A and B are shown apart, each in its own frame.
Chain A
Amino acid sequence: MIRTEGLTKRFGDTLALAGLDLEVGAGEFFCFLGPNGAGKTTTIKLLVGLLRPDAGRALVGGHDIQREPLAAKRLLGYVPDQPYLYERLTGREFLRLVAGLYGLDGDGVDVRIAGVLEAFDVVDVADGLIGDLSHGMRQKLSFAATFLHEPRVVVVDEPWVGLDPRSIRNVKDRLRAGTRAGLTVFMSTHTLSIAEEIADRVGIIHRGRLLFTGTVAEVKALASRPGTLEDVFLELTSEGA
């Protein structure tokens, strides 16, 4: 569902991403790991069309995000690390806007909105202004908006900030259940324990280059001595590596 071919991005003199080749299949939960400034968010922004690559291409569901952006975006759901929400709309009004942007219409929309509000536990705050919501509530609302149009690919950038343990469990369960139904999840995170717990495969990126992709067990096998995913990650991305 996600494929990148030689994806390259420069910011001025800095090479942020160097020829990334990657494939994530349907129903797969892929965790993208790397230290700060490694190129994770750049990759995600290239995948969702917020950046234009200097070379290579990114495909979502077979659609090049640059050449067929609308077809690709209809399949995509994106939860950024700092989601933009309209402070002067209520949660429900915001979800109606998102429904409109994705061309959802008719009586079914209200049912869908009620469903995602329930699923992400934001029913009680749905009719208050977003500007009055806490960070965690906003994050849950952005998840609700992402799932409203039932995307086939969900790209998530460091989603756990501000969520309480129950909400983290809820989001994890929801994403995991989604992958069992064929949803593809591409998640960037620093929380290695969660990646270890739920990822089908992980990719480790460092200084714009993909160091490794494979299952957690395969990554662990790379380590010089047995340890957790965190130990292996630190070893692979150490300055001397």
Chain B
Amino acid sequence: MSPLAALAVAKLRALGHALAAVRRESRLKVAVVAGAAVALWAGFLFGARAVFRLVDSFGVELLGSRGVSLVELLLPRLLSVFALLLFVMLIASSALLAFSSLYRSREVAHLLTTPLPLPDLFTARLAEVTFMSSWSSAYVGSPVLLAYGLERHAPLDFYLVAAAGFVPFVLIAAALGAAVALLAARTLPRLPRGLLPAALAAAGALAFLFFRLKLADPSFRDTVDLGLLVNLAGQAEASFLPSHWLTAAVVGAAAGARGEALFFVLVLLANAALVALVAAALAGRLFYPGWGDLVGRGGSRARRRAGGRRGRLGAALRGPLAQLALKDVRVFLRDPAQWSQVLIFFGVLAVYVATMRTGPRGLPTAFWQNWITLLNTLACLLVLATLTTRFVFPLVSLEGRRFWLLGLAPLPVRALVRQKFLLSLAASAAVTLALALLSGFRLGLAPVPLLATLGVVAAASVALSGLAVGLGSLYPDFGSDDPAKIVSGLGGTLTFIVSLAYVLVVAAAQTAVLRAHHVALRSAGAAGPALRVALLAAGLVALLTAAATILPLRAGIRHLERSEF
């Protein structure tokens, strides 16, 4: 057996043991997570089918001198946009995963002491990165493709083509992400001091300017022009993009054009093989020197000076909880795998805010105005749910190996959990309230929708922080030091699902308030019912927020107090 095969067998065995461990988990917990995952998937399927049906209802539009069925034009282009977004997200997540997997893993240090050839080591890590980055894409992408197939009454081979095209599509993104990580690890530590932040700031400013200039074009202001929408969506159909090849393959398969579908699947396969080979060649040249640079980097004078400044700040902060909060912030800022994800996250948010032009007041009906407000609230709340699940849920687990210190300190467990909750609340509320305010102003929301959005976001900051800290304490993973792995367990999945459920309920409550508000505006003297709806919704949100905050925190504290370390 080759070393690579031995490693693959060991990984499969470890996976088998991990699945066996799931069987030993609480049945209720597994059932809740599995049931919610299926329900969410079904929700994506339902949503995607609704969007496709909406497009189907557009009928025929006069484009130029001839009538064109918009569904034929717009549907494939919408798929292209979706596939392009998926591709970009896959590259970003693969780059981060590859960096952690290649340069921050103790397993790699172990493997480097064995006679495992470096190309084999890279191949093993690339396979892991591909698997880890692709399951979420498959989870989100499969209902969209299935909905497309169902709405287009596609033949059976459509589903085979979709599966056959998806694998090389993901591999291309993973190999590109890994190549980005290899290049970054080799070049960034060697840049002159201060150049990296300057380069990042310049790139951010350029991206912002690009979107501002692009959107200054008056034609972009009219988002209800369907012809323009078709053209905009067509921008994602550049023929050199793997997302276009995947779309062309599935659209061809859905239309019964087997030859075209097979051609694009083969294009994907050939390119996946090529990109993987190029990445492996890059790994052969760059991985070990990059590893040496990162492991042997050590502390610079600048970092020691910064440490000294922060040390004085630490001395100025009084009390154990303030010191613990400072420790959490320091550990976060010194882990590139953590802060780089936040950086990408905020980059996406900047694009989101920069691309807003048309306000709901410019839209023709209350229906659309409410939709835009709801979508903006949902965007803010999903940002919040992602932040709390990804970065707050692991906080208690990460203390596991330090409980010899924290457990012996004259500090009740309750205080430790409270500190995590308050830190999370402060950080998440600052980010999401700023986002809600900024996006509200950019969209030109009226005072009532803006206040409703801010109220919902403030309540959600409390509830989602409580959920993440509470469930993080109730289902901790004290065996791991890797936040990404901690989140990917059952507890993390449960937190995200419960957070999503909370988000959907409070967003629905906000929509009810806004509808009642619109009704009141249209018919004079109907303020009474609107006020009643508003009070009822506010009561529901308050009750739900209290429950989502207090119950998990109490359960988490009780669990930690009874735990043995």
A residues apposed to B, CB below 8 Å: 9-14, 48-52, 54, 69-70, 73-74, 76, 78, 80, 83-84, 86-90, 93-94, 96-103, 105, 129, 131
Contacts and interface: CB of A to CB of B under 8 A. Distances in A.
A145 B99 CA distance: 28
Given A52-B289, A84-B106, A88-B14, A98 B296 contact: no
B10 A89 contact: yes
A11 B296 contact: yes
B66 interface: no
Given A51-B295, A84-B110, A105-B1, A99 B10 contact: no
A97 B7 contact: yes
10 contacts: A50-B109, A50-B295, A51-B295, A52-B289, A78-B113, A86-B14, A93-B13, A97-B9, A99-B6, A103-B3
Interface string B210-226: 00000000000000000
A52 B289 CA distance: 8
Given A88-B18, A100-B1, A48 B10 contact: no
Contact of A129 (B7, B9, B17, B301): B17
A64 to B, nearest CB: 14
Contacts of A14: 298-299
Interface of B: 1-3, 5-7, 9-10, 13-15, 17-18, 21, 106-107, 109-117, 288-289, 292, 295-301, 479
A20 to B, nearest CB: 15
Contacts of A9: 296
Contact of B113 (A11, A49, A89): A49
Binding site of A, secondary structure by majority: helix, strand, loop or mixed?
A: mixed
Interface centre among B1, B295, B479 (most CB of A within 10 A): B1
A11 B116 CA distance: 27
B404 to A, nearest CB: 13
Contacts of B15: 88
A100 B6 CA distance: 5
Contact of A51 (B2, B17, B21, B296): B296
A12 B298 contact: yes
B117 A70 contact: yes
Contacts of A101: 3, 6-7, 111, 114-116
Contacts of B10: 86, 89, 93-94, 96-97, 100
A197 to B, nearest CB: 27
Contacts of B113: 48-50, 73, 76, 78, 80
B298 A50 contact: no
A22 B539 CA distance: 76
Given A84-B109, A86-B14, A96-B6, A102 B296 contact: no
Given A12-B297, A48-B113, A101-B114, 20 more contacts: A9-B296, A12-B299, A50-B112, A50-B113, A52-B292, A70-B117, A73-B113, A73-B114, A78-B113, A84-B110, A86-B14, A89-B10, A93-B10, A98-B114, A99-B6, A101-B116, A102-B3, A102-B114, A103-B3, A129-B17
